[in-house]
Amino acid sequence: MEPAQDSIAAATIILDQTVGMYRTAALAVAARAGVADHLDRPRTVVELAERTGVNAAALRRVLRMLASQDIFREDDQGLYHLTPAAEFLRSGASRSLRDAVIMFSEDYMWRSASHLTAAVETGSSSFEQLYSKPFFEWLGANPDAASTFHASMVQLSETGIERIIDTYDFPATGTVVDVGGGRGALLREILEKNQHLNGVLQDDRSALREHVLDTPQTADRWRLEEGSFFESVPVGGNVYVLKHIIHNWGDEQSTAILRNCRSAMKDDARVLIIDPVLPEPGNPHFGWALDLVMLSTLTGKERTRQEFEAILNDAGLRISNIFPVQTLGEYSIIEAVAA
């Protein structure tokens, strides 16, 4: 490639990344309008605009951009079709991501991301600088935002659950404690696929009152325990699961959670952290972008194996194995045992 062409290609990368926010914005438009829900058959943009209550000319500009990304497809007759990616924007679809797309496009997320410079300058969450409260405290005072957030967490949690369960060899008997497990979708699947295991779901009251554990396959094998994992976790478990928990918190807070697990667990029990494990620098990975979400919004971070080892060792635990999960977002199961 000629030097001039090299320069153009490099500049194109920068410009493409610069306008990336508009791809995200367009995706949010489609999710909020519920476009995918109306594509039970191919439809024109005029039909879609009438059904969603938006301007047809403006919607076409959004949809043709999304079609260039294989999100929807426009045929020669101007009809729009669902694609495999667009299926995840349907509100009633199995493993839908519509709520997650909407949550990431909420004003508080946009503002936090747009003030990332403030987080880099100070080392503290730009969200807290903007809203004068930690993220989860602010959510507690804003029920509408909390409802959207928790709905999105359910969708993100449920996506790839089967792969997680298939990846890890749970014990034949004993008790699985889902620490901060929300509504319990992961624990429900674990219990349904392991008929001789019992389960405990720990979280706050708002999450537990919407739990999904009560199914015929799990009858009499689970209980709820309200509480904060910063204070304690249920005692006597054989497996402690922390899915999307540790990455929300800084090292000191994460170590405190893990110490509580170590205090509660049997000596031969295991702790499972389900989070991204960052690769060597320069390698593409979903976790790099998620790390900036943590930086701008929360006090947590994504970690390398070495960083996980440090907080686990401080909590009296050690890594016994890491199982990559071939699922959405390149997560891993970090298995830890008593040191």
pLDDT digits (tens, 9 = 90+) for 302-329: 999 999 999 999 999 999 999 998 766 6
- Asked, for residue 97, whether it belongs to a domain, the answer is no
Do 261 and 325 have their domain in common? Answer: yes
Do 301 and 243 have their domain in common? Answer: yes
Provide the mean pLDDT of the chain.
93
Model pLDDT for residues 163-219, shown as the tens digit of each residue: 888 899 999 999 999 999 988 989 999 999 999 999 999 998 888 988 999 999 999
- For residue 328, the model assigns a pLDDT of 60
Mean pLDDT, rounded, for 33-62 = 97
Q: What is the pTM of this model?
A: 0.88
Model pLDDT for residues 214-239, shown as the tens digit of each residue: 999 999 999 999 999 999 999 999 99
Q: Of all residues in the chain, what percent carry a pLDDT higher than 70?
A: 98
- For residue 160, the model assigns a pLDDT of 75
Do 8 and 48 have their domain in common? Answer: yes
Q: What is the domain count for the chain? A: 3
- For residue 73, the model assigns a pLDDT of 97
Where b means 16+ CB within 10 Å and e means fewer, 222-234 reads: bebbebebeeebb
- Asked, for residue 98, whether it belongs to a domain, the answer is no
Model pLDDT for residues 93-152, shown as the tens digit of each residue: 878 999 999 999 999 999 999 999 999 999 999 999 999 999 999 998 999 998 888 888
Instruction: Give the whole-angstrom CA distance, residue 277 versus residue 97.
Output: 22
- For residue 151, the model assigns a pLDDT of 85
Q: Report residue 207 as tokens.
A: 């999450």
Is the model more confident about 146 or about 337? 337
- For residue 18, the model assigns a pLDDT of 93
CATH, residue 202: 3.40.50.150
- The residue out of 90, 116, 143 marking a domain boundary is 90
Do 180 and 131 have their domain in common? Answer: no
* 295 pLDDT above the threshold of 60: yes
- For residue 327, the model assigns a pLDDT of 65
- Contact in structure between 220 and 195 (CB atoms under 8 Å): no
Please say if 247 is a catalytic residue. Answer: yes
- Confidence class for position 242, pLDDT limits 50, 70, 90: very high
- For residue 3, the model assigns a pLDDT of 63
Do 223 and 207 have their domain in common? Answer: yes
Which residues contact residue 162 at a Cβ distance below 8 angstroms, ignoring those fewer than 6 apart?
Answer: 189
- Asked, for residue 326, whether it belongs to a domain, the answer is yes
Do 177 and 241 have their domain in common? Answer: yes
Instruction: Give the whole-angstrom CA distance, residue 202 versus residue 222.
Output: 11
CATH, residue 29: 1.10.10.10
What angle (nearest 5°) sits at the alpha carbon of residue 234, between those of residues 262 and 139?
Answer: 100
Handedness of CA 162, 167, 169, 170 (dihedral sign): negative
Handedness of CA 151, 133, 302, 193 (dihedral sign): negative
Model pLDDT for residues 71-91, shown as the tens digit of each residue: 999 999 999 999 999 999 999
Structural domain boundaries, residue 120: 104-154
Do 150 and 167 have their domain in common? Answer: no
Distances (CA, A) of 335 to 23, 138, 173: 37, 32, 18
Do 189 and 64 have their domain in common? Answer: no
Do 190 and 228 have their domain in common? Answer: yes
- For residue 226, the model assigns a pLDDT of 96
Do 127 and 197 have their domain in common? Answer: no
- Tell me which of 81, 115, 196, 247 is the catalytic residue: 247
* Secondary structure of the chain in HEC code, one letter for each residue: CCHHHHHHHHHHHHHHHHCHHHHHHHHHHHHHHCHHHHCCCCEEHHHHHHHHCCCHHHHHHHHHHHHHCCCCEECCCCEEECCCCHHHHCCCCCCCCHHHHHHHCCHHHHHHHHCHHHHHHHCCCHHHHHHCCCHHHHHHCCHHHHHHHHHHHHHHHHCCHHHHHHHCCCCCCEEEEEECCCCCHHHHHHHHHCCCEEEEEEECHHHHCCCCCCCHHHCCCEEEEECCCCCCCCCCCCEEEEECCHHHCCHHHHHHHHHHHHHHCCCCCEEEEEECECCCCCCCCHHHHHHHHHHHHCCCCCECHHHHHHHHHHCCEEEEEEEECCCCCCCEEEEEEEC
- For residue 147, the model assigns a pLDDT of 87
Lowest-confidence segment of 14-18, 23-27, 28-32, 206-210 by average pLDDT? 206-210
Do 146 and 212 have their domain in common? Answer: no
- Asked, for residue 134, whether it belongs to a domain, the answer is yes
Do 319 and 209 have their domain in common? Answer: yes
* 155 pLDDT above the threshold of 90: no
- Asked, for residue 150, whether it belongs to a domain, the answer is yes
Instruction: Give the whole-angstrom CA distance, residue 194 versus residue 173.
Output: 8
Tokens 């298995």 locate to 335
- For residue 288, the model assigns a pLDDT of 94
- Asked, for residue 291, whether it belongs to a domain, the answer is yes
Residue 171 buriedness (CB in 10 A; 0-12 / 13-18 / 19+): middle
- Asked, for residue 317, whether it belongs to a domain, the answer is yes
- Asked, for residue 99, whether it belongs to a domain, the answer is no
- The residue out of 90, 125, 145 marking a domain boundary is 90
Going by C-alpha positions, the residue among 176, 124, 164 that lies closest to residue 332 is: 164
